[in-house]
Amino acid sequence: MSRVGLALLVVWALVAPGVASADLGPADVFILANADSGPSIELAEYYAHRRGVPREHIVSLPMPLTEEVSRADFDRLIRDPLRARLAERRGQVKVLLTVNGVPLRVAAQSTRPEDERRIGVLKQERAHLEPRLRAAKENLANKQTAAKENPALSNQVAEAKLHLDRLTVQDRKLDEQIILLSQDQSVAAVDSELALLWWGDYPLARWLPNPLHWQFSPARRMQAPPVVMTCRLDGPSLTVIKRMIDDALAVESDGDLTGHVYVDGKGDGFDVGADPTGTSYGGYDESLRELYRLAQNEAGFPATYEPTSRLFPAGSCPDAVFYCGWYSLASYIPSNQFVRGAVAVHIASLEAVSLRAGNRYWCPNLLMDGAAATMGAVAEPYLFAFPRPAEFFGFLMTGRYTLVECYFRTLPVNSWQMVLLGDPLYNPFRNKPRLKIDQIKPSPRGSRFPYG
pLDDT in tens, 221-273: 999 999 999 999 999 999 999 999 999 999 999 988 999 999 999 999 999 99
Q: What pLDDT does 239 receive?
A: 98
DSSP assigned state of 363:
H
Q: What pLDDT does 175 receive?
A: 81
Q: Residue 143 carries which side chain, given as an amino acid letter? A: K
Nearest to 433 by CA among 299, 295, 340: 299
Q: What pLDDT does 2 receive?
A: 32
Write down the H helix ranges in 105-261: 113-149, 154-182, 190-194, 218-223, 238-254
At residue 371's C-alpha, the angle toward residues 279 and 213, to 5°, is: 35
Q: What pLDDT does 203 receive?
A: 86
Partners of residue 264 on adjacent β-strands: 306, 325
Is the pLDDT score of 110 beyond 90? no
Q: What pLDDT does 111 receive?
A: 67
Instruction: Tell me which of 21-30, 90-99, 175-184 is least confident.
Output: 175-184
Nearest to 133 by CA among 170, 83, 183: 170
Helices first, then strands: H and E counts in the chain: 13, 15
Global pTM reads 0.85
Q: Within 10 A of 139 (CB to CB), how many other CB atoms are there?
A: 17
Q: Cα Rg for the chain, rounded, in angstroms?
A: 23
Angle at which helices 281-293 and 389-397 cross, to 10°: 30
Is the pLDDT score of 38 beyond 90? yes
For residue range 128-162, list pLDDT tens digits in order: 999 999 999 999 999 899 989 898 888 999 999 99
Is the pLDDT score of 179 beyond 70? yes
Model confidence at 282, in pLDDT bands (50, 70, 90)?
very high
For residue range 193-204, list pLDDT tens digits in order: 999 999 998 988
Q: What pLDDT does 271 receive?
A: 94
Write down the H helix ranges in 183-298: 190-194, 218-223, 238-254, 281-293
Dihedral pair phi/psi, residue 364, rounded to 5°: -65, -35
Is the pLDDT score of 120 beyond 70? yes
CA distances for 438 relative to 195, 298, 349, angstroms: 28, 12, 31
Q: What pLDDT does 10 receive?
A: 32
